[in-house]
Amino acid sequence: MRKIIIVIIILFLLFSLGLILLVVPYYKKNYSSNIIQEAHICIPTQADYYQVKKLIAPYLKDSQSFDKVAYSEKYPEKIKAGRYKLNLGENNRDLIRRLLLGKQDEVHLRIKSYDDIYELASDLGKNLEDDSLKFINYFKKQASLKGYKDVEELKIYFTPETYYMDWNTSPEKLFSRFERIHNRFWNEKRRAEADQLGLSVLEVYTLASIIQREYVIKDELPIIAGLYLNRLKKDMKLQSDPTVQYAERKIYGFKIQVKRVKNVSIDSPYNTYKNKGLPPLPICIPNDFVVDAVLNPAKTDYLYMCAIKNTGRHAFTSNPVEHMKNARAYIDWLNSHKIK
């Protein structure tokens, strides 16, 4: 009996040892830490396993164990493009499963108040998989399909904000998303407000874009909007400095910085010192709250405004003589501080 017990014990120990010899390598291959540094990788559309491995390899402690798990899960046949985060200490099994499911780490895309649709395309190309040329070509195609003469009219579909999206979002999917946002924003109420002002959606954005470049203090937005609407009703030139700055940059290049208007006689349809009415298209991409200020302007008799030194605010008036005094005081302050 005692011999039988000893044999059983020996067999049990041998079985346990064999199990350990099988389990430990399996555990190490699948569940031990293998990512040695936190990082992001971007897997291109139609990438093969060789390309993926090349991206991940610098962050692997054991490259062979990663290969074994990848092939056992048939990952080389199921590669999904995208931007993925590699977590410090992550094991092969968890990483491969995330890659198989396509669980991307989204891009935080900041849309700014761009002057030019090409600037937008440039930033999209820097942050997403497709390059700027693909985005601008798609925008041109959309502008043509919508019957627009100028791709810059597409500015009305975008608004400055931070958006979360997959790195491999195509130009088609991106524009479709912004078009849906635009259509939701322009509900019946806002369209009725624009009709009441006698403005088209494009004209609302064009005026909002001027105000976007004029304002500093947010509570002045409805006042500035009301002032410009008053000038339009009286058939007065808007005489907005940002429109001249835009005209100069459109002629000489958007990389130049124009701080102070000097050439108000520049020959451009965007120059509101020279031309009555609104410019042909928006001079930038305005925020939604600026658009809403145009749709809900303050009711005043103001026709003139001038920046107040070092405050960000404006002095508003309906009196041209008072306005000239305000303007002279501001110009004297600029000159005294050698601001050009």
Residue 252, pLDDT score: 83
Q: Which of 23-32, 117-126, 177-186, 240-249 has the lowest mean pLDDT?
A: 23-32
How crowded is residue 322: how many other Cβ atoms within 10 Å of its Cβ?
14
Structure tokens at 205: 């954005």
Which of 292, 281, 250, 256 minimizes the C-alpha distance to 159?
292
Question: What φ, ψ does residue 66 adopt, rounded to 5°?
Answer: -65, -45
Amino acid at 49: Y
Please identify which residue in the block is written with the tokens 């017990």: 5
What per-residue confidence (pLDDT) applies to 263? 77
Question: How far, in Å, are 52, 147, 290 from residue 221 at the CA level?
Answer: 50, 32, 7
Q: Which residues pair with 108 in a beta bridge?
A: 164
Identify whether the C-beta of residue 150 lies closer than 8 Å to the C-beta of residue 269: no
Q: Are 129 and 45 in contact (CB under 8 A)?
A: yes
Helix axes 132-145, 171-185, angle to 10 degrees: 50
Angle at 52 between CA 171 and CA 166, to 5 degrees: 30
Q: pLDDT (tens digit, 9 = 90+) per residue, 21-65?
A: 444 454 444 558 899 999 999 999 999 999 999 999 999 999 999
At 3 the pLDDT is 63
Provide the 3-class DSSP secondary structure of residue 280: coil
Render pLDDT for 151-199 as a digit per residue (tens, 0 to 9): 999 999 999 999 999 999 999 999 999 999 999 999 999 999 999 999 9
Read off the amino acid at residue 54.
Answer: K
Spatial distance between the Cα atoms of 31 and 25, rounded to a whole number of angstroms = 10
Q: How far apart (Å, rounded) are the C-alpha atoms in residues 285 and 124?
A: 15
Q: Tens digit of pLDDT for each residue in 203-219?
A: 999 999 999 999 999 99
DSSP class of residue 254 equals: T
- Domains (range + CATH), the chain: 22-101 (3.30.1490.480), 107-185 (no CATH), 198-302 (no CATH)
| Closest by Cα among 290, 160, 298, 111 to 214 | 290
CB 171 within 8 A of CB 134: yes
| Reported pTM | 0.86
Q: Nearest Cα to 246, choosing from 277, 229, 269?
A: 269
Please give the angle made by the CA atoms of 65, 70 and 75, to the nearest 5 degrees: 170
Q: Which residue bears the tokens 């928006």?
A: 282
Q: What angle do CA 35, 37, 41 make, to 5 degrees?
A: 85
Measured between its terminal Cα atoms, the distance across the chain in Å is 106
